[in-house]
A and B are shown apart, each in its own frame.
Chain A
Amino acid sequence: MVFSLFSWWYGKGWAGVLTSTRRRLSILAEMFSLKILLSTLFSPWRRIITYPGAGLDARLRAFGDNLVSRCIGFTVRFFVLLAAAVAFVFTTVVGLLELVVWPLVPLAAAVFIVKGLL
C-alpha cells in the first residue's frame, strides 16, 4: 500500500494538480463570463441607449447619452475583468506552487522527521 501511495503521489496525483489547476481556471473564465465581457467591453450598459432624432442637436444628445452608457458598461466590465485577472493570477500561482511543492512533500516529511530526531 505504501508503494501504491507513492506511485500515485508521483504519478496520477502530481498530474492531477495540473488538471485541477486547469479546471479551476476554466471555471473562473466561465464564472466571470470572460469571452462575453471581452467581446462586449465597449457595449452600452444593459442596452440603455437613446435612439437619435432627426436634428443635429438630437443626434448629438443621443451620442452623448450613449457614450455615457458605454462608459458605464466599460467601467463595470473593466473592473470585473480586473477581478478576474487577479483571481486568475492567484489560482495560477497557487497551482504552480502546488506543482512544485507536491513532489517535495514526502522528502520534506522524511527530512523533518530525521532532523527532529537528531
Chain B
Amino acid sequence: METLDLQNGRARRARLGRAIGPAGYGLLLLLAALGVLGGATLAAIHHSYGYSILGIGLLLTMPAVWWRYELRDVPVRTGTLADRLSNDVLVLLQPHQTYTPQKLWEALQPNWQAIFFANHLLLPGEHISDLFSDDSSQMPAVLQEAIRIADSQESPSVEVGHLIAALLHTSPDITLLLSQVKLSQTDVDAVSGWLARGLAGMRQKPASFGGIGRDWASGFTPRLNQFGHNLSAAIEHQGAHFGALVDGPGVTGMKTAFSQGAGAIALIGPDGIGKTSHAYALAQNVLAEAQDPVLAHRQIVALDATAIMAAAQRPGDLEYILTSLLNEAIHAGNIMLFFDDAQLFFQTGPGSINATQILLPAVQSRAVPMVFAMSPHDYEQLRATTMAFAGLLTPVVLKEQPEAETLEVLADTANHFEIRHKLVVTYEAVKAAYRLSGRYESDMAYPGKAIRLLEQSLAHANQKVVTAASVEAAIEQTRGVKAGTAAPVEADQLLHLEDSIHQRMINQTHAVEVVANALRRARAGVANPNRPIGSFLFLGPTGVGKTELAKAIAATYFGNEDGMIRLDMSEYQQQTDVARILSDGKEEAKSLLMQVRQQPFSVVLLDEIEKAHPNILNLLLQLLDEGQLTDSQGRRVSFKDCVVIATSNAGADSIRAHIEKGEELEQFEAAFTDELINNGQFKPELLNRFDEIVLFRPLKPEELAQVVRLMLGGINQTLAAQNISVELTDAAIAKIVATGNDPRLGARPMRHTLQKAVENTVAGKILRGEAHPGDHITLDEPDLSL
C-alpha cells in the first residue's frame, strides 16, 4: 500500500533546497568567494585570522555547490513512491500534515502543472476542492493511481500533474462534474499526456547538429540560397519542434528508402496531412544523423517554384536556372532537394514548370537525394503523363493518423498558439476542432484541417480563453452552418417551428410535423451526424404545397428562402448528366456539388425526382446513406448539413382517388408506397433511404380559400408602398376558388386567377383615379374582373 513518506532524506533535501533558494545560493557563493579571497590575502600578510577566514570560505563553498548540483532539483531514483516523487511535489507538501485527497488537491494548486489542468479542462476553481474526499484512507488509492499514470507515460518521476490526474480519476464526484461539462476521464488522461509531452519537451537536451566544421567539406550554394529555403537552417536557428513526426513512420519511411538506395522519393498525401511538416521533421532528424553516409548532416533545401519562374524572363532561362540549381546541389555534396507542391514542377501552362526532362538525369544517377511532395491525384497524373520519371520515384504514402494521435498533434500545436498569442486553448476546444473540422472541412486531411480551424478559433477567444464555443463560432462564420448549441431564442423558434411554417403553408399538418421533428432532432444533436439533417420524399399532386414547404423550411430554419438549392431533375434524364451533377464547377458552374460546397447549410430540393436517370438515383442512394458525394476532382462534398427534399407527382391520381373515397392519408400510406414499388416507379432501396415519405393530399375548397387569403396578404404587401389595401368578401373568395380550382393542378392556377381578379381590378381603379393613397378597397364578387 503506497503512502506519502515526507520524512525521508530526499524530501528533507528538497525542502532545504527550497529554503536556500537561488537567493541563498547567491549569498553563499558571495560569502565563500569573499572568505577564500579575503582569507588568502590576510594569510599572505600573516594576519592571525587569515587562515580561519580562508577555511570558512572553503566551508561555505560546500553547501553552495551542494545546492547547485543536488538540492536545487533533487533527482529522482527508481524504486518506491518516495524515491520517485518529483522535487516540485516534495517542496509543496508539508512533512507533518496528514494528507487527504482534498488537502493534497489544495496543497498542489500553486504549482503550474495544477494550473495547466484547471485551465485546459476549465475546472471551476473555487468549489472543486469540496468535491474531494477528506478521508485519509482514500490516499493509497490516489497514490497508486498516480504511479500507474506515471508508468503509463514512461515517466521516471511522479509529478504534480500525475497526482492531479490521479485525484481527478479517483473522485466519483469529480467524474460527475466532468460529465456535466461534457468531459470524461479519457479527457483527463489526454490532458495529462499533453502536459507530459510538454514537460518532456522542456527537459529535452539541446540537439547537436555537427559543430563548426560540419559544412567545411561541402560546397557553397549561392543560387540555392537565392531560389530555395533551407529547412535545416530554419530548424537550427528557430528550434526543433516537430515532436513525434521526427521519428514517425513518414520520416522513417523516407530515411529507409534513401538508405536502401532510392534516389528520389514521392511523398504522397492529401492536403493537410503535413507533407511540409514531414520535410521539416526529416531535416531535424537528418541534422542529428551522424551514422548514415547518405544522409549524415544533409541540408534540406525547398525550391521555390514562384521565385524560379519570376527570374526566368527569357526562353531558356528556366532550364538554365534549374540546371544550375541541380548542379550546385550535386556539387555541394550535402544537399537534399525538397519540391513542395511538386506538381508545379511537372505541369505545363501558366504558373508551372515542366521540369521532368531536366530532373530525370539527376534522379536516374541518384546524384542528389530529392523529395517530391504531391497529392495522390497529382501522383496518379504524373504516372499517367510521365511514367518514365514517376517510375524512378519511391513512393512514401502519408496516411491520416488515428483520432487519439491526431488529437495529440492538435494539442501540441495549441501549445504554440498559446505561447504566440498569450491565451489558453482548452482541451474541449481541441476536441471541437477535431470533430467540427472532420464534419465540415472535407477539402483537407487531418491534422491540417483541424489545425486551421483551431487557428481560426483564436479570433473568437473569450477573455483570452479558446473554448468549444470559440471553435463553433469560427466554423459558423467560415462555413455558414449552425454548429453551436441552440440559443434560447432559437430553441423557442425550433419548438414552435410548425407555427412558423403554417404562417405560409395551409394544412398538410402531417408533412409539416414530420419535417419539423427532423429539424429539431438535428439541431438538438440527437440525429445521426453522418447523414443529411433530414431526407424526405414529398409525394402528391401538383399545387398542394410540396415546393412551398421546402421554401418554408429554407426561410424559417435556414433563414433564407433564396438559399435553397433547387434542381429540376427532368433536366437530368441522360446518363451523361451524372457528370453534370458531380462537376467541380469548371464545366457546370451551377452543378449540385458546387452549390452545396459553397452553401453547405441549405435545403436541397430535387424536383420531379422520378424523371432523373437511374444512375443519378444511384448517386442519391450514396448521398442519403453517407451524407456525402465525391466530385470529379476526387474531393468530398458533405450534405450532412442539408435537408434533402425530393418531390414527385408519381401516384398523384392514386392519392386523389383514395382521398375522394374519404380515406385519410395515414390509412393508405403503406399501401401506396408498396404500389409505387410494385409498379416500378421507385426502387425499394431508394424509398428506404429517405427518413420519411410524406404524402400531400389535394386541398379542399375551404383550404383553397385560406390559400387565397394568404396570397391576398402578398398582394397587400406590394400595395403597401402606395398606402392602399384590398379586402375580399367571402363571396369574392368563393368565386375565385371556384374559378381557380383545378383538381389536376391544385392551388397552382389560383395565383393566376387572383392576379386576374384582384390585381387587374385594383390597377384599373388606381388608373381611373378611383383609388387613392390611404384607401381600403373591399371587393365583392361582382367587382371581380374574371
Contacts and interface: CB of A to CB of B under 8 A. Distances in A.
Interface in A1-47: 1, 4-5, 8-9, 12-13, 16, 30-37, 40, 43-47
Contacts of A114: 55
Contacts of A13: 65-66, 69-70
B39 A112 contact: yes
Interface string B9-20: 100110010000
A116 interface: yes
B55 A116 contact: yes
B34 interface: no
A19 to B, nearest CB: 10
A95 interface: no
Contact of A33 (B58, B210, B218): B210
B290 interface: yes
A89 interface: no
Interface string B21-60: 0000000000000000001000100001111111110110
A95 to B, nearest CB: 15
Contacts of A32: 211-213
Nearest to A39: B217
B216 A9 contact: no
A36 B331 contact: no
B211 A33 contact: yes
Contact of A16 (B56, B59, B69): B69
Nearest to A40: B217
A31 B48 CA distance: 48
Interface in A35-69: 35-37, 40, 43-48
B216 A76 contact: yes
Contact of A47 (B58, B65, B66, B217): B217
B13 A4 contact: yes
Interface in B58-76: 58-59, 61-63, 65-66, 69-70
B382 to A, nearest CB: 33
A108 B211 contact: no
A5 B212 contact: no
A115 B52 CA distance: 7
A51 B358 CA distance: 22
Nearest to A76: B216
Contact of B62 (A35, A46, A106): A106
Contacts of B527: none
B332 interface: yes
Contacts of B217: 36, 40, 43-44, 46-47, 73
Contact of A8 (B12, B54, B66, B218): B66
Contacts of B50: 116
Interface of B: 9, 12-13, 16, 39, 43, 48-56, 58-59, 61-63, 65-66, 69-70, 208, 210-220, 290, 297, 331-333
Contacts of A5: 62-63, 66
B143 to A, nearest CB: 25
Contacts of A85: none
A104 B54 CA distance: 14
- In this complex, the interface size class of chain A, counting residues with CB under 8 Å from chain B, is 35 or more
B70 A80 contact: no
B62 A33 contact: no
A36 B215 CA distance: 9
B219 A47 contact: yes
A114 B54 CA distance: 11
A77 B213 CA distance: 8
Nearest to A3: B9
A12 B211 contact: no
Contacts of B220: 46-48
Contacts of A8: 66, 70
A116 B53 contact: yes
Interface string A81-112: 00000000000000000000000011011111
Nearest to A34: B211
A113 B52 contact: yes
Contacts of A1: 12, 16
A112 B39 CA distance: 10
Contacts of A12: 70
What are the nearest 8 A-B pairs in CB distance? A116-B52, A112-B55, A33-B213, A113-B55, A33-B211, A116-B51, A47-B219, A109-B58
A8 B49 CA distance: 29
B51 A113 contact: yes
A73 B210 CA distance: 18
Contact of A31 (B43, B65, B211, B218): B211
Given A113-B55, A115-B51, A9 B213 contact: no
A110 B39 CA distance: 14
A117 B55 CA distance: 11
B61 A80 contact: no
Contacts of A76: 216
Contacts of B62: 5, 9, 105-106, 109
Q: Which of B12, B212, B290, B331 has the most CB of A within 10 A?
A: B212
A4 B332 CA distance: 57
A77 B216 CA distance: 9
Given A1-B16, A112-B55, A117-B52, A105 B61 contact: yes
A80 B213 contact: yes
B303 to A, nearest CB: 21
Counting chain A CB atoms within 10 Å of each CB, the highest count among B16, B53, B70 belongs to B70
A84 to B, nearest CB: 9
Contacts of A43: 216-217
A45 B219 CA distance: 8
Contacts of A46: 215-220
A17 to B, nearest CB: 10
B52 A112 contact: yes
Contacts of A77: 213, 216
B55 A35 contact: no
Contacts of A33: 210-214, 216
Contacts of A115: 51-52, 55
Contact of A30 (B54, B211, B215): B211
B211 A36 contact: yes
A116 to B, nearest CB: 3
B54 A116 contact: yes
A36 B213 contact: yes
B58 A105 contact: yes
Contact of B218 (A47, A105, A109): A47
A112 B53 CA distance: 8
B219 A48 contact: yes
Contacts of B52: 112-113, 115-117
A92 to B, nearest CB: 19
Contacts of B9: 4
B650 to A, nearest CB: 79
A37 B215 CA distance: 10
Contacts of A16: 69
A37 B51 contact: no
Which of A109, A112, A117 counts the most B-chain CB atoms under 10 A from its CB?
Answer: A112
Nearest to B51: A116
24 contacts: A4-B9, A4-B13, A5-B66, A9-B62, A30-B208, A33-B212, A33-B216, A35-B290, A36-B210, A36-B211, A46-B216, A46-B219, A47-B333, A48-B219, A48-B220, A73-B216, A77-B213, A109-B58, A113-B51, A113-B52, A115-B52, A116-B48, A116-B52, A116-B55
